[in-house]
Amino acid sequence: MIRLHQRLEEAEYNKNYVLYWNHVALELVRLTHTETASGAVNGPPLVARMSPTSLLSSNRLGILHPAIHDAFFALHNTAGMALTLAQHKAIGEIGVPLRLYNQILRKVAWNYRPDKKIPDSDKNNVEFARLFTLCNAAMADAGIFAWQEKYCFEFWQPLSGVRKASRDLIVRNRGNGMVEGIPDPDRSPTMGDATDPFWLELGAPSTNSNRTPFKPAFPAYPSGHAAFGAACFQMMRLYYKNSHREGIADFDVDGPDNIAFDFVSDEQDGQNRDNLRHAFDPTVPIDDQPGIVHAAWKRRFSSLWEAMWENAVSRVWLGVHWRFDAFSSQDTLVPNETPSPATTKTSSPSSTESPPLYAVGPDQSTSYKPVAEVRCTSTGSRRDRPGKDFLVGGVPLGIDIANDIFQGGLKPTPPNRQPTGRHRRGRL
């Protein structure tokens, strides 16, 4: 994970509307993304054990009672101190999914606030409190469901899959739809054995740390990062679609929007750095700790739909996820619409050479569709839930969770509609 140097963020909202939801968000974060003393990151409590020596601020959580809030803010009584939100102060880790998405939520909520004249008006505060709650509830469920599915399928990470995969293993598992992240030797016969024991996984950068890049210690499918982001961004999309806000055009719930925003990530703020030459020292300004400084870069997103897609695919570029952990290749890759004229078929099925399903370049790399054309529609069946088709990956999982919560008005799902099988995790 990534250490956050001490800094105070500006606040735009009245503190009184944030107190309760700040407490709620802290609890959701603690339950859904906990780093243990050993450095491993666990999933939600339903599917992973949580260490009593958690590095997160469990002691601080224990005092977050409204009475303590009142005393704290009566003492400091400044807007800046009031809105040091959960993901900014309590975790102390940048790059943690829920903190990252709440930063984006806050940015978008400020851009599209209903009252442009009075920043801390009741209208702005009420909207922010509800939106903040909806998004964090969706992300909490995304964590629970994603980790439940991880330990149901238990599919290996690319670090293991690419380095250890053999041709025989790929061919044997080709029919289950769970190995599309590895080249198909039957369609690329010149590749021979697909194993690459020297393949380098970049991993999640350990910014402001002298630790090595983070490699997830849990199953790959589905991507929790993709599910968290999709749940948060889809909830924001649903909220603004139904608020009829000026400047936001109507859009399909399963397609692109025009909710644009600029964002500077913690990793690219021109201040944080990689490869510290010593352990991070919270008592020393980060500017005085030698390391490789990240360039400052403001990223422009044309829509939340685009942010959802980029958030999901980012873990593929880092090598910590397969593409199908986020979404189906059929939904996102440019198809091969011009089969090779050299395609031949013989009487022997094993010698049949088929054209690739997707368009490939000279280096055999595939290309993604324009984000505006991406739709999550590909489905498949499951042995443990016959009679129903399911979408592929963390993105549609997060979208479905947000849709369900928003349509239900943030009410608990009735017991008879709740999914079953949690007692079977790890076994289909």
DSSP 428: -
Token pair for 283: 């008592």
**Residue 225 bears catalytic tag:** yes
Closest CA to 1 of 219, 220, 267, 222: 267
CB 220 within 8 A of CB 157: yes
DSSP string, 17-79: GTHHHHHHHHHHHHHH-EE-TTS-EE--TTTS---TT-SS-HHHHHT--HHHHHHHHHHH--H
- What Cα–Cα distance (Å) separates residue 190 from each residue in 90, 276, 282, 338, 365? 53, 43, 53, 21, 15
Q: At what angle do helices 394-407 and 304-317 cross, to 10 degrees?
A: 150
User: Distance between CA atoms of 86 and 97, rounded to whole angstroms?
Assistant: 12
User: Distance between CA atoms of 141 and 289, rounded to whole angstroms?
Assistant: 38
Q: What is the number of residues in the chain? A: 428
Closest CA to 323 of 253, 402, 278, 378: 378
Residue tagged active-site, from 33, 69, 88, 225: 225
Token pair for 356: 């690739």
Q: Catalytic amino acids?
A: 225
